[in-house]
């Protein structure tokens, strides 16, 4: 078994090095632990924007559910949160982003902070520094808009699963280092299988997963219950 750190992978003593297993530290994060950072759940703010008419239409056309909490409303909320944080010099962590446009706002901001590394064409943020950081909910990258037809209400989340190109963008910015964390409310076999598939297909590299599950959030000075997550690859 191999232990994954943010910058290295090591063989664990007295384990089979050929067992195709990665051991991650997983951060069961207490977002209330850092009083200097305000944690904002987009789902709470989006609930007031809920479009009940679209919810009715989703009964016949499940893909319409994405507009129960529209991308337009989410982007307006995110933009206001971002601008207020910068204006007031206030640290915020926004949980459950789903849009490419949100990430591009962070990308521009992190570029100004000097976090862009031209040699690797990726970002290398010190997440202790930015006033605004963000996490994505794992369900919002596990599923995509085309899955509504088969899954229906099983994936009726808030924020909702977005169109395939938006989900693809979430992967892109995870791998480019802009996204601070992946939010997992509860570990399940389905989530473990999903992470395993990301490693096998190299959609998300193990070092990146290690940062997203713990080390980036640790940099923001959140405290946590440190548990282990074993992923087969």
Backbone dihedral angles phi then psi of residue 6, each to the nearest 5 degrees: -65, -20
List, for residues 123-138, the tens digit of each pLDDT value: 999 999 999 999 999 9
Length of the chain: 233
26, 58, 188, 212, 226 from 231: Cα distances, Å: 11, 35, 12, 15, 16
Distance CA(16)–CA(2), nearest Å, equals 9
Query: CB 51: neighbour CB atoms within 10 A?
Result: 16
Tokens 């193990």 -> residue:
206
CATH superfamily entry for domain 31-181? Metal-dependent hydrolases (3.20.20.140)
Those residues whose C-beta lies under 8 Å from the C-beta of residue 97, and which sit 6 or more positions away, are 42, 78, 103, 134, 135, 136, 159, 170, 179
- Enter the pTM of the model: 0.89
* Residues of the chain scoring pLDDT < 50: none
CB neighbour burial string for 183-204, b if at least 16 within 10 angstroms, e if fewer: bbeeeeeebeebbbebbeeeeb
What are the tokens at 23?
């051991």
Residue of 24, 25, 8, 76 whose CA lies nearest to 46: 76
Average pLDDT for the chain: 91
Domain residue extents for the chain: 1-29+184-233, 31-181
* pLDDT for position 27: 58
């Amino acid at each position: 078994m191999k232990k994954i750190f943010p910058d290295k992978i090591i063989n664990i003593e007295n384990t089979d090095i050929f067992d195709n297993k990665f051991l991650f530290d997983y951060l069961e994060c207490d977002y209330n632990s850092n009083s200097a950072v305000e944690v904002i759940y987009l789902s709470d703010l989006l609930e007031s924007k809920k479009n009940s008419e679209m919810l009715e239409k989703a009964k016949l056309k499940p893909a319409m559910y994405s507009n129960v909490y529209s991308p337009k409303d989410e982007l307006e909320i995110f933009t206001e949160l971002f601008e207020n944080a910068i204006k007031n010099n206030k640290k915020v962590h926004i949980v459950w982003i789903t849009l490419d446009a949100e990430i591009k706002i962070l990308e521009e901001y992190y570029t100004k902070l000097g976090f862009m590394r031209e040699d690797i064409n990726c970002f290398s943020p010190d997440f202790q520094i930015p006033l605004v950081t963000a996490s994505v909910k794992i369900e919002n990258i596990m599923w995509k808009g085309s899955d509504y037809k088969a899954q229906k209400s099983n994936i009726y989340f808030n924020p909702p699963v977005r169109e395939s190109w938006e989900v693809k963008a979430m992967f892109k910015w995870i791998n480019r280092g802009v996204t601070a964390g992946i939010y997992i409310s509860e570990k399940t076999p389905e989530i473990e299988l999903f992470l395993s598939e990301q490693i096998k297909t190299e959609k998300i590299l193990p070092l990146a997963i290690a940062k997203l599950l713990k080390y980036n959030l640790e940099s923001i000075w959140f405290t946590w219950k440190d548990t282990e997550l074993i992923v087969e690859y």
